[in-house]
Amino acid sequence: MKEVEEVFHLGTGEVKTADPSGGIGEESGAEDHNRKVEKLENILRALAQLWWIDSTQFDIATEILADRSRDYKWRAPLGKSGVLIFYLEILSCHELRHSLKKHVLRLLGNSCADLDENRELIASSVNYLSSIILQLKDSTVLPYTLPVLFNICVDYASEVEHAPDDTAVALINTASNHESIVDLETYISLVNTALSYLQHKKFQIALLLQEGSLNTIITILVDSYSRFEIQTAESTLNENDDVKALTSMITALNQVLSDISALQEFQEIYPVSSKFCKTLQSWLLPSTKQVHLKVCACIMLGNLARLDATCIECVQAIQIHKPLIDIVFHANSTQLLHAALGFLKNLAIPIQNKNTLGEAGLLEALSRIWSMDTIPQVQFVSTSLGRLLTVGSLENVRRITQDCSNTESGILVSPLVKLFENTEDEPIKMEIARLSTSICRVLYFNSTQSRGQIEPIRIKFLQKNPNIGLQLGFVVSQTKWPAVRSEGWFVFALMARSPEGAEIVSQVVSDPSVFQPLVELLTGDPSSGIVPASPTAKILNSELIDCQELVPKPVRPQDQVDELSRADRENALVLIGEMLKNHGSHMAVPCKTTFKDLLNSGGDYLLSHQHGRTETRSA
């Protein structure tokens, strides 16, 4: 005992916690470190003697060591000298009295804080870690056990993998045990420590494979607020520290559950028809008031809905879209809206689901969101969902052009038209423009069977969206998303085949921001002017206008860059040819001449590429 006191020169002064980034004493770093190691090595025999005679002095000596381990400059010497291993052996092989155990755990927890060498000493042996995990059963030492487990895990992924697979499970089981008397601070620390381990895939899979463990972690999510009789953050204006800490913990817990539900193992063990998933589905109902539970259900079920078959089952069999649409209609929480909209986006991808979702009122619900002053992330995902619903669906295009119930002159999509003009958020502007492009693709697709149905919808859409040209021009003038730009050229080519569409397109193309990319597309040279084309090109283009040898070419998801470029050139030729044919009589002579020259140059450029491809194949 006396030797221990002398090592640290105790008796006066206070233990200081040093900054890890600072020096380690007045002496040089290496010299000071070696001196401390030597002093600690010299007291090991005395510590062993006190231990074997079961002296209470051993408890006091251990407390002194635990206090000194708060000082960063003593942590490395404690590990290097063998003191740390000495106490790890004691803890792993013996049942300790409470007064001693808490100081041993303090010593271990402090020693491995911010120091990888000591973390490695503890994590390198399964026996050492297992003995620490066993202390979770003793609620009286939880405040001392948790820092050890937490400090081993944080920022030390390489060694945490040595921890037993059930480390996180043990922590979760302890947290969910209502018979364990812990205060709120210890409870949050316990769950956060478990979540630190659950950042690693190894422990996520172990949780899935351990029967009942996923239900246990869900129990924590369900009763965290009620267990400590705390008002939820969304129901109080003045959050206290307890609410903030608990809300932060639950947010982290939802993120971990999101990661777990994204694993292939989760999809195999818990299909959407499983009992566990039925519990999640019940949280989406209006009877569940806790927002964090609804968010969790949206995220976990949304991660399951990544295959068309699962999405179709969710909508057509389970009808999970109905409570989700109710959330979009009534929820004000941006976190919940974002989660529900993300789930619905997955469900809207299969063509079989589009009409069902539209029929259930989803577009009307989206119009409410579009009219709200909400965060950009919600506006973006809601617009993206609206676009997905209109892809290839005349019925949903009809619905999105219906009159709004809360305005006299607008249609459901009208709020987005205003948002496009007012927002400076480029991704949102692009998604709105893509939605308009998708609507135009449906309205201008040449189908004689549905032409009579389409005409009144098209007229109404254009009347209510007079600035459609600005949105379409935004799609083809940008360079960040080539596939999106290609879709825009294709839709332009479709529109130019009708008189009113050709008029709209001609106005858009006259804008320099659109005309310049068109010139570059058809000539290959953004800096050159339009020059007269060769006779061959004139013949080709004459045939194009009269015989329509080229038709609008849709973009395919699998198309590579070269294929996209070729499709863009062909669609641009169709665009100009059809525009001249259907609107040329209304053009000024100089404008008409310019487009004819561009058509000729584009035909020549296309021919040269065709010959180049043929020669390459022949070679």
Exposure of 610 by Cβ count < 10 A (0-12 exposed, 13-18 middle, 19+ buried)? Answer: exposed
Please name the residue that has the structure tokens 């040329």. 584
pLDDT at 386: 98
The residues, ordered by sequence, that sit 6+ positions from 382 with a Cβ below 8 Å of its Cβ are: 328, 337, 341, 366, 369, 370
Residue 49 DSSP SS3: helix
Distance CA 180, CA 137 (A): 8
- Contacts of residues 309-315 at CB distance under 8 Å and 24 or more positions apart, as own/partner, are 310/271, 310/272, 311/346, 311/347, 311/349, 311/350, 311/353, 312/350, 312/352, 312/353, 313/272, 313/273, 314/272, 314/347, 315/347, 315/352, 315/353, 315/356, 315/357
Which helix (H) or strand (E) segment holds residue 70: the answer is none
183-236 pLDDT tens trace: 888 899 999 999 999 999 999 999 999 999 999 999 999 988 788 776 554 444
Q: What is the crossing angle of helices 376-390 and 362-371, to 10°?
A: 150
Show the tokens assigned to 30. 């290496």
Radius of gyration of the chain, Cα coordinates, nearest whole angstrom? 34
Instruction: Tell me whether residue 43 is exposed, middle or buried, using C-beta atoms within 10 angstroms of its C-beta: 0 to 12, 13 to 18, 19 or more.
Output: buried
The identity of residue 551, as a single letter, is V
In angstroms, the Cα distances linking 325 to 358, 404, 542 are 10, 17, 52
Highest CATH level, class, for 1-164: mainly alpha
pLDDT score, position 605? 58
Residue 612 sits at φ, ψ, to 5 deg, of -65, -40
pLDDT tens digits, one per residue of 369-413:
999 888 999 999 999 999 999 999 999 999 999 988 765 568 999
C-alpha of 563 from chain center: 31
Tokens of 256: 């971990």
Residues of the chain falling short of pLDDT 70: 1-28, 154-159, 230-239, 406-409, 446-450, 525-549, 602-619
Q: Exposure string (b/e) for 305-343, b if CB count within 10 Å is 16 or more?
A: beeeebbbbbbeeeebbebbbbbbeebeeebbbbbbbbb
Pair of tokens at residue 523: 């000539």
Alpha carbon of 94 to those of 49, 91, 134, 144: distances in Å?
16, 6, 12, 18
Burial of 405 (0-12, 13-18, 19+ CB in 10 A): exposed
- Could you give the CA distance from residue 258 to residue 300 in angstroms, rounded to a whole number? 6
Q: What is the pLDDT of residue 9?
A: 54
Q: How far apart are CA 547 and CA 540, in angstroms?
A: 10
Query: In this structure, which amino acid lies at residue 234?
Result: E
Q: Is 121 helix (H, G, I), strand (E, B) or coil?
A: helix
pLDDT of the residue at 412: 93
Number of helices followed by number of strands (H, E) in the chain: 35, 0
How far is the C-alpha of 574 from the C-alpha of 315, rounded, in Å? 40
pLDDT score of 158:
65
DSSP string across 222-256: HHHHHHTT---GGG-SS--HHHHHHHHHHHHHHHH
The predicted pLDDT at position 542 comes to: 43
Which residue pairs, CB below 8 angstroms and at least 24 apart, start in 458-463?
458/500, 460/401, 460/411, 461/397, 461/401, 461/411, 462/500, 462/504
pTM: 0.83
Contacts 24+ apart (CB under 8 A), 12-21: 15/67, 15/68, 15/70, 15/71, 16/71, 17/70, 17/71, 17/72, 18/71, 18/72, 18/73, 19/72, 20/72, 20/114
Query: Where do we find the tokens 């459901």?
Result: 412
Q: How far apart are CA 334 and CA 341, in angstroms?
A: 10
What residue ranges do the domains of the chain occupy? 1-164, 166-232+241-303
Q: What gap in Å lies between CA 10 and CA 26, rounded to an integer?
A: 17
Count CB-CB contacts under 10 A for residue 392. 13
pLDDT value at position 13? 39
Cβ-based neighbour number of residue 346 at 10 Å: 22
